[in-house]
Amino acid sequence: MTTSAPVRFGLLRLTDSAPVIVALERGLFRELGLDVVLSVEPSWANIADKLAYGLLDAASLLPPLALAAALGLRGPPGRLLVPMGLSSGGNTVTLGREAAHAVLERTEPRDALAAGRRFGEWLRDQPAPPRFAVVHAFSTHNLLLRYWLAASGIDPDRAIQTVVIPPEQVEQALAQGRIAGFCAGAPWGELAAQNGSGKVLLGTSDIWNAHPEKCLAVAAPWAAANPMAVRALLRGLLQAQRLCERTDMTPWIASLLAQPPLALPRDATLACLPGGGAKEQARFAPEAVAYPWQSHAAWFLSQMRRWRWLAADNCPEDAAKRIYAPDLLASAAAEEHLAWPAADRKQLRGFCDEAILDQDWKAID
């Protein structure tokens, strides 16, 4: 028996949509009195627009896009809140056959910066900046790609031509030679490797270990009007994250994601789930993933300011406090018997550029 109107939930065809699909398939939302109706969208822009115009109540979203939409960096400011994280890691930097042959021909790069140096050598031999795809300008993928290139001594605004292609289209674009490589979420890098259209150079966890990837974004007016539905949604997703992190569940989840409505390639999806064997795997453990750290939001915003997408006088920390809403998760986490952090910030670690480890985000300009 449901306790509210249907929740319109948007997502894309990606491996890390697993918690939403699992929660539906296992009846977790229904047991909590919630009717969730999926809307599988063709692009991140579609999801952001539908959230802004009230056509979706909630969505799996890219944290930088949620922040950009809420701040009006891509149109009128949308009233969005981010109450939890949904996944960690899972993206790959994937090269087409030509670039992969040159960069990976002799030996596998031993770390992200070594891979960056090899990639930079290949870039210097190109007659023009090659086309490299990301899934949205305001994406984790674009910011981590740019961070890695800059840390490797490569100017991302000059050395490559960045284009935006929806994730489910990047492997085909690579196979057709329309791009030289991409940074996108699973399973599309693994599919390129399995199809022979490209090779994975590194995972984004090699750039920032255990980085936040997808988040739950909710329309603030809907959340204010439906607090019980928000709590039920959070609890269902927390329960599903536990299941998605279990390696014994991985084959079943891969088969589930291979069915409509996502219809993902099963073998590639299987490899990218926990224990699946791919170099880069999506992770879902709620204790490590779900808490919406405001220091994570501040880092994404500081990178936007670094690349002059955000005005210099805009304080990332203030914006993070307005948009990230850990208080919404607190009661749901307590009911699920999850440990709760004592602070809403933590020191950021795990970057490929070790010099960043002891710096505050304010130093990144």
pLDDT reported for residue 240 = 98
Contacts of 279 by beta carbon, 8 Å cutoff, 6+ apart: 92, 200, 202, 203
- Rounded-to-integer distance, Cα 116 and Cα 364, Å: 20
Of 214, 203, 130, which is closest to residue 173 (Cα–Cα)? 130
pLDDT reported for residue 340 = 81
- Counting DSSP H helices and E strands in the chain, the numbers are 17, 10
Q: Are 356 and 343 in contact (CB under 8 A)?
A: no
pLDDT reported for residue 361 = 36
Residue 292, CA distances (Å) to 45, 113, 215, 222 in order: 22, 28, 8, 19
Residue ranges of the chain with per-residue pLDDT less than 70: 1-4, 106-108, 354-365
Sorted by where each begins, the domain ranges of the chain are 7-88+212-356, 91-206
- Rounded-to-integer distance, Cα 227 and Cα 63, Å: 22
Cis peptide preceding 127, ω within 30 of 0 = no
Q: Are 90 and 272 in contact (CB under 8 A)?
A: yes
Of 105, 110, 95, 168, which is closest to residue 135 (Cα–Cα)? 168
Q: Are 309 and 293 in contact (CB under 8 A)?
A: no
Tokens of 351: 């970057």
Of 204, 131, 136, 132, which is closest to residue 166 (Cα–Cα)? 136
Of 275, 100, 266, which is closest to residue 193 (Cα–Cα)? 100
Helices (H), ranges, 26-129: 28-31, 44-52, 63-71, 97-104, 112-124
Dihedral (C-alpha) 90, 91, 97, 103: value to the nearest 10 degrees? -100
Within a 10 A sphere around the Cβ of 301, how many other Cβ atoms?
Answer: 28
Fold match between domain 7-88+212-356 and domain 91-206 = yes
pLDDT reported for residue 351 = 93
According to DSSP, the residues that pair with 7 across neighbouring strands are 36
Q: Are 40 and 52 in contact (CB under 8 A)?
A: no
State the fold for domain 7-88+212-356: D-Maltodextrin-Binding Protein; domain 2 (3.40.190)
- Rounded-to-integer distance, Cα 351 and Cα 335, Å: 33
Contacts of 274 by beta carbon, 8 Å cutoff, 6+ apart: 244, 245, 246, 247, 250, 281, 282, 283, 284
Write down the architecture of domain 91-206 according to CATH: 3-Layer(aba) Sandwich (3.40)
pLDDT tens digits along 147-173: 999 999 999 999 999 999 999 999 999
pLDDT reported for residue 2 = 57
pLDDT reported for residue 299 = 94
Of 8, 5, 4, 6, which is closest to residue 55 (Cα–Cα)? 8
Cis peptide preceding 261, ω within 30 of 0 = yes
- Rounded-to-integer distance, Cα 77 and Cα 71, Å: 5
- Rounded-to-integer distance, Cα 230 and Cα 222, Å: 9
pLDDT tens digits along 191-200: 999 999 999 9
According to DSSP, the residues that pair with 59 across neighbouring strands are 10, 217
pLDDT reported for residue 354 = 64
- Rounded-to-integer distance, Cα 163 and Cα 158, Å: 13
Alpha-carbon torsion (91, 233, 20, 8), positive or negative: negative
